[in-house]
Structure 1
């Protein structure tokens, strides 16, 4: 059986990426930074190791968050030990990656339905 590869990118298509294999973690983050970056009530994300990630095209980074300098789409966050993909930037939708945790639940909107069996943490897990 071959390893799954997921592709994604920015709105204008100038920045593209691929991740290979399954993420080691996935979740929703309700922190103030993620809300501002997404312009939404939360960020749906998944984390892969750097060796599972490749990208093409130019990107800029601010406070560890990478985005396309042409259209401004936030696509991923890079660090030495992980690549956090903003799952809304994947080409495949729905992407079938279910959140395993919810962080910063103290900022969670009360109208959001609870996801059964997904633990919530008041701040970072």
Structure 2
């Protein structure tokens, strides 16, 4: 069984690695157009952590995909490593995609956001569904 108190992962080439300690703040699945394009996939399942829970090693490049939302990725292989999301009150959260972790099956999404963009062939999860951003974000 996976030790969920300390999880590790990183980019595809191994140049950037991360570890997280403690449980995530929440787990979601996003269908928004930016996540779809940034991940070249139909959706992005992710875990949210506070910055003090996350340690990153290795150089990262970044870009701001929307105001207050910065995506960090490996400059060598292009794999997304984490996203930094700043709320209106200036608090930061780190989103890490489930696919970036070394282990699988660690957490299931607790909600889906931007379901208005969900592929019609995808079955909705049995979780709260949000047409846009999750309420509270």
Classify the TM-score, shorter chain. Answer: over 0.9
Aligned mates of 1:82, 1:56 — CA distance in 2: 18
Please say which of residues 28-37 and 71-80 is displaced more in the overlay: 71-80
> Which stretches of structure 1, 4 residues or more, deviate above 2 A after TM superposition?
none
Distance of 2:113 and 2:53 partners within structure 1: 24
Residue 77 of structure 2 is matched in structure 1 by 71
Q: Does 1:115 align with 2:125?
A: yes
Q: Gapped runs of 5+ residues in structure 2?
A: 65-69, 86-90
Distance apart, 1:114 and its partner CA: 2.1
Separation (CA, whole Å) in 2 of partners of 1:58 and 1:75: 11
Superposition deviation, residue 3 in structure 1: 7.0
Q: Which residue of 2 aligns with 1:92?
A: 103
Paired with 1:124 and 1:115, the residues of 2 have a C-alpha distance of 16
Q: Which residue of structure 1 lines up, in the alignment, with residue 116 of structure 2?
A: 106
Deviations 1:22-47 (A, max 9, x none): 10111110000000011110000010
**In structure 2, which of residues 92, 109, 116 is the aligned counterpart of residue 81 of structure 1?**
92
Unaligned runs of at least 5 residues, structure 1 = none
Partner of 1:13: 14
With the length of structure 1 as denominator, give the TM-score of the two structures.
Answer: 0.93
CA RMSD in angstroms comes to 1.4
User: How does the TM-score come out when normalised to structure 2?
Assistant: 0.85
1:22 maps to 23
1:94 Cα deviation after fit: 2.6
